[in-house]
Every structure is written in C-alpha cells, then in structure tokens.
Amino acid sequence: MAARAPSRTLVLFNHNLTMLAREPGPLASRLVMPLVAIAVFEPLDRAAIGSRGGAVQAVTGMLVLFSMLSLALVGGSVLAERLWRTWDRLRMTPVRPLELLVGKSVPTGIVLAVQQAAVLGFGIVAEGLHARSLALLTMVVLVWSATLVAIGSALSLIARSQAELAAIQDIGSFIVTSLGGALVPLAEMPSWARQIAPASPAYWAMSSFRAAVDGNVGAAIHSGSVLLGIAAIATGLAVWRLKRSSTRSARL
C-alpha cells in the first residue's frame, strides 16, 4: 500500500519543483543580480589586486555573496510551508523527516547550483575568468550548494516567524560574507577581521572556489571538507529539530 521511500522522496521533489516553477520571480532576480554586480565590481577588484586576481575576486566574491543571500529561498520555502500549515500536513503522511527535508531542499539546491553555474559561466565568458579545472569547480559548486541548503533548512526550522528568518538571513549573510572576504579581498581587510575569517562558512567557500579556479585539488578538498562538515552539522540540527518538534507549526 505505502510507497517505498525513494518514490516518496521523488514525489516530494517533483512537488517542490512545481512550487518553485509557479513563483519564478525570486529565482529570476537571484540569477540576474549577481551578474550585474560582477560587471560593476570587477573593474574595482581588477584595479585593487590585478587583472587575474581581480576577475577571480569579483566572480567568486559575488557568487558567494548572492548565493548566501539566496538562503532566503531555501529558508523561505520551508517557513512558508510552516505558515501554510502544509508542513504539519505532510508530517501526518507516512513521509520520514529526512525524506521531507531532502524532497524540500534538493530542488532549491538545484536552483542554487544553477545560480552559481550562471555566475561562473558569465565570469568565464564575459570577465575572462580562467578556470583550470571545470570538474573541480563543479564539485565545489555542489558542495557549497549542499552547505547552503543545510544551513537554510536548519535556520527555517529554528526561526519562529518570517520576520525573524529574514533578519537572521539578511544580517547573517552580510556578516558572514563580509568576514569571509567575499566583498573585500582578505588581504585588504583589517587584521582582526582576518583573524576571525575562518569562522565564516563564506571564507571556506571563497577558498574552495579560488582553489578550484587555480586547479589546486588539495586545497579545494581541504576547504570543501570543512564546508561538508558545516553542512553535516546543519543537517543534523534540522533533522533533530524536525523530529523533536512535538508542536503544531500553527503555533509559530
């Protein structure tokens, strides 16, 4: 009678993809904004740190900044379900918490990966970014997308309202990306900021992308592993929160 686990996850994946396609506005803006920002910031970065370094900084910096800001897409999609009470309705079906999270987050993860691919593609074609290893770059895109999805899911299950989530995401994203060297190259940042930069996931994202562009496999794997660790912690937190939530979402 009951569907097997993989098909339930697939059902939820298709369902969430449909939901994203029905409201394409946020997706479109998140694809266009970073491209415009790169075009504007690239000359500044080029002037500050040279031709090649400038292009890498502008492209990877804007990629990390706007992908962090796109956390709102992940978190918002889960929180909207809680506000519509459909999250609880889904929990009343035979779906497992992990299936629910995977079905919800993979489509948004794909959107994030597409956003990053578009930014990198624009960087390569329009800004002269030269990536030594596309395979490594793809791996980093997937790891960073997974990290963002995990963080967004955890935040959306912790936040008590849309306003709280927006505040956490906006302020958090800005601080994390600033400290991570996405806005200003690390070398140009004050020493206290450089000291605490490794505490920011954006720092490891920037390191991963830079390493992938340079074709430095070891450095990319090291930074990627840190990101996967962050993703694992966030996923654990989200699943734990989902399992122990013995209250109605309507009580938000």
Q: What Å distances lie between residue 196 and 47, 138, 182, CA to CA?
A: 26, 28, 14
- Residue 11 or 237 with smaller CB distance to another protein: 11
How far, in Å, CA of 169 to CA of 65, rounded? 12
For 212-234, the three-class secondary structure string (H helix, E strand, C coil) is HHHCCHHHHHHHHHHHHHHHHHH
- Residue 78 or 150 with smaller CB distance to another protein: 78
Tokens representing 2 are 């009951």
Q: Is residue 181 a contact partner of residue 203, using CB atoms and an 8 Å limit?
A: yes
- Residue 13 or 66 with smaller CB distance to another protein: 13
How near is the Cβ of 160 to another protein at its closest, in Å? Answer: 16
How near is the Cβ of 92 to another protein at its closest, in Å? Answer: 4
The crossing angle, in degrees rounded to 10, of helices 217-244 and 97-126 is 150
How near is the Cβ of 1 to another protein at its closest, in Å? Answer: 5
> Taken in order 197, 199, 205, 211, is the CA torsion positive or negative?
positive
Of 207, 228, 224, whose CA–CA distance to 64 is shortest? 207
- Residue 1 or 163 with smaller CB distance to another protein: 1
Neighbouring CB atoms inside 10 A of 9's CB total 20
- Residue 90 or 237 with smaller CB distance to another protein: 90
Q: What Å distances lie between residue 195 and 70, 134, 192, 198, 205, CA to CA?
A: 27, 31, 5, 7, 17
Tokens representing 91 are 């929990």
- Residue 11 or 184 with smaller CB distance to another protein: 11
How near is the Cβ of 96 to another protein at its closest, in Å? Answer: 7
Tokens representing 119 are 């930014």
- Residue 88 or 214 with smaller CB distance to another protein: 88
How near is the Cβ of 247 to another protein at its closest, in Å? Answer: 7
How near is the Cβ of 182 to another protein at its closest, in Å? Answer: 33
How near is the Cβ of 235 to another protein at its closest, in Å? Answer: 20
Binding residues (CB under 8 A) for another protein: these are 1-3, 7-8, 11-12, 15, 18-19, 22-23, 84-86, 88-96, 246-248, 250
